[in-house]
């Protein structure tokens, strides 16, 4: 989508404008799902216990705040409530009456003990979309176990397939299961809100890290009738498509199609490989990768990864291996407006991801920094006790 024309630069709501979300979750999956909703214009109030979200305490090179917390809690107001105290519990119930969505990641049974289970809140607000994100789901022998991203990676085969053939399993760092679960939850909320427009009723939305980890592997999770269970499920297409060393740095190359394979051979001076019938399909190249790789690596040693990236251009899908720090000022990232500048009362000014989705007609408000613990407690409780509406935090328009 092109940058909106000048007449559309005025502040406009996002597609979820008017939707209020109560975020009672911690760590990554639930909080980031709520940030995704905030990106789209929802008014999100993060409700933390007196000690705060545990993610605040995670190791960070920032002296006063957790980098991870800032990254997954943008565009929210923050309040502190101790749900074991009657007064604070009553405040939450008042907030529930006017809320559209509630998200938590308590283990099964805990919400009911706190008096905030789905069946307990439904009579208070039948329109509430009630979302629970768990490790393993709300039934079954593992339902009470604590679920964590890398635990589920290991359990569901991701680490075994990530490792080298014959080598040990390897973790995929970056909390991929958590972030995918966040995306599933945000999508589920949007669908439930859409359905509510027809029925007038909210509903329960459940997402688990187990479901997320297996959904991510849908291409592997196929077992046909009569087929041996222990069959090849590795999606890697041989040794040609992958990360390779160059004279300086590493480059990822994808050469699965005939067009890209021929272009790779031409660009590296290996035309003889393109003409070899034994290598004329991706399956054949996978079978003979031990013959191909030494020649490919010898050719790639002539230039740096960045030089190969420029030489391959659009003809060979590739990317030089970069540091994440290189993304802040990458011209494509800049052109897409993915990064913005935030003002934080403790950290000061910082740059981070601004919005995950672009909308043309309803681009949504500008993002703002994650809250300091309890930052908006007094304002929100005062409005609740007075019975007055809680005004959404004013936001400008996100820069396209």
Q: Which residues are catalytic?
A: 178
Q: How many CB atoms lie within 10 A of CB 258?
A: 12
10 Cβ contact partners less than 8 Å away, ≥ 6 residues apart: 397
How distant, in Å, are the alpha carbons of 157, 230, 237, 321 from that of 165?
A: 14, 15, 13, 22
The greatest distance separating any two alpha carbons of the chain, rounded to the nearest whole angstrom, comes to 80
Report residue 36 as tokens: 């995704």
Report residue 191 as tokens: 């669908």
Q: Is 73 exposed, middle or buried (0-12, 13-18, 19+ CB in 10 A)?
A: buried
Q: Which of 191, 152, 318, 183 is nearest to 243 (CA)?
A: 318
Q: Which of 320, 311, 316, 318 is nearest to 258 (CA)?
A: 316
Using alpha carbons only, give the angle 327, 332, 333 rounded to the nearest 5 degrees.
45
């Amino acid at each position: 989508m092109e940058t909106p024309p000048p007449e559309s630069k005025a502040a406009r709501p996002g597609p979820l404008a008017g939707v209020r979300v109560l975020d009672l979750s911690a760590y990554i999956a639930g909080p980031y799902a709520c940030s995704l909703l905030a990106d789209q214009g929802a008014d999100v109030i993060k409700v933390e216990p007196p000690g705060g979200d545990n993610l605040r305490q995670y190791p960070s090179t920032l002296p006063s705040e957790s980098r991870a917390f800032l990254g997954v809690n943008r565009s929210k107001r923050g309040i502190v409530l101790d749900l074991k105290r009657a007064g604070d519990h009553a405040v939450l119930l008042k907030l529930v009456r006017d809320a559209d969505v509630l998200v938590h990641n308590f283990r099964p049974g805990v919400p009911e003990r706190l008096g905030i289970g789905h069946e307990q809140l439904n009579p208070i607000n039948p329109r509430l979309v009630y979302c629970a994100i768990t490790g393993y789901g709300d039934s079954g022998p593992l339902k009470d176990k604590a679920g964590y991203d890398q635990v589920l990676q290991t359990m569901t085969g991701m680490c075994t397939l990530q490792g080298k053939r014959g080598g040990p399993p390897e973790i995929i760092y970056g909390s991929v299961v958590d972030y995918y679960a966040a995306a599933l939850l945000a999508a589920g909320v949007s669908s439930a809100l859409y359905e509510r427009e027809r029925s007038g009723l909210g509903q329960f939305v459940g997402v688990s890290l187990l479901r997320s980890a297996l959904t991510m592997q849908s291409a592997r999770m196929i077992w046909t009738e009569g087929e041996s269970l222990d069959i090849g499920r590795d999606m890697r297409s041989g040794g040609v498509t992958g990360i390779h060393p160059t004279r300086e740095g590493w480059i990822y190359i994808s050469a699965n199609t005939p067009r890209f394979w021929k272009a790779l051979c031409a660009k590296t001076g290996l035309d003889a490989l393109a003409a070899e019938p034994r290598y004329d399909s991706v399956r054949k190249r996978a079978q003979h990768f031990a013959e191909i790789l030494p020649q490919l690596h010898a050719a790639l040693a002539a230039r740096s990864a960045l030089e190969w990236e420029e030489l391959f251009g659009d003809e060979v899908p590739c990317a030089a291996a970069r540091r994440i720090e290189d993304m802040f000022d990458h011209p494509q990232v800049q052109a897409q407006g993915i990064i913005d500048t935030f003002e934080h009362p403790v950290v000061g000014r910082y740059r981070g991801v601004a919005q995950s989705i672009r909308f043309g007609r309803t681009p949504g408000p500008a993002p703002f920094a994650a809250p300091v613990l309890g930052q908006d407690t007094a304002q929100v409780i005062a409005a609740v006790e007075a019975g007055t509406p809680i005004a959404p935090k004013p936001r400008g328009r996100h820069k396209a």
